């Protein structure tokens, strides 16, 4: 005989719990690059990390040291320098949903897209998602320029010296080939893993 005081759990609640499950059944590993050169850059990067952790189906597993970088693709001195970092996440979100979440976080930090390589409060890029290789113009994987950007490779190498960029090779070799010109570690600054 069933107990009349026990009510079934609504399906919507079950779905919410499943989506936020900290165990993340069958997660994928993704590498994300973060950058900011407007406003309180360090606070913005930390806010982005915290927002990623607050995303159902995403857990931040590692956060790199902070690097300061000259703006890329523009005249020297025309923009403030960037703070850059790399985070590694485990996620059950598919790549396009992770991209949407990254863009929503950018918007929450007042990202404006007026010019290519323009100054920005926040940039969230998917560098690699598992071993996925895709030429989709909306989300090319791995990131089509990651192999030539020290501000991505250096912090990633700090986190995972043995890492490899799908289709391009070991991060250590890619970084050695381009060098660290315009990129410097900021040992005085620190980003933290979310609680």
Active site (catalytic) residues: 111, 120, 123, 125
CB 106 within 8 A of CB 34: no
Question: What CA–CA distance (Å, rounded) separates 58 from 19?
Answer: 9
Residues contacting residue 17 through CB under 8 Å, at least 6 positions apart: none
CB 22 within 8 A of CB 60: no
Tokens 């598919």, located at residue: 94
Which residue blocks in 20-143 are alpha helix, DSSP H?
Answer: 41-53, 95-108
Backbone angles phi, psi at 183, to 5 degrees: -130, 130
CB 140 within 8 A of CB 161: no
Residues contacting residue 43 through CB under 8 Å, at least 6 positions apart: none
CB 166 within 8 A of CB 160: no
């Amino acid at each position: 005989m069933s107990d009349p005081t026990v009510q079934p759990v609504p399906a919507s609640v079950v779905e919410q719990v499943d989506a936020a499950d900290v165990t993340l059944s069958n997660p994928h590993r993704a590498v994300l690059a973060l950058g900011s050169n407007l406003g309180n850059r360090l606070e913005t990067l930390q806010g982005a990390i915290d927002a990623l952790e607050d995303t159902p189906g995403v857990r931040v597993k590692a956060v790199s040291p902070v690097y300061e970088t000259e703006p890329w693709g523009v005249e020297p001195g025309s923009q403030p320098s960037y703070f850059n970092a790399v985070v590694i996440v485990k996620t059950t979100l598919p790549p396009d949903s992770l991209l949407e979440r990254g863009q929503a976080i950018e918007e929450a930090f007042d990202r404006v897209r007026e010019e290519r390589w323009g100054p920005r409060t926040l940039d969230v890029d998917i560098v690699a998602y598992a071993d996925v290789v895709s030429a989709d113009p909306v989300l090319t994987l791995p990131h089509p320029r990651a192999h030539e950007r020290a501000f991505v490779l250096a912090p990633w190498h700090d986190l995972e010296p043995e890492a490899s960029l799908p289709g391009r090779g070991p991060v250590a070799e890619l970084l050695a080939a381009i060098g660290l010109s315009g990129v410097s570690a900021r040992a005085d600054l620190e980003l933290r893993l979310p609680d």
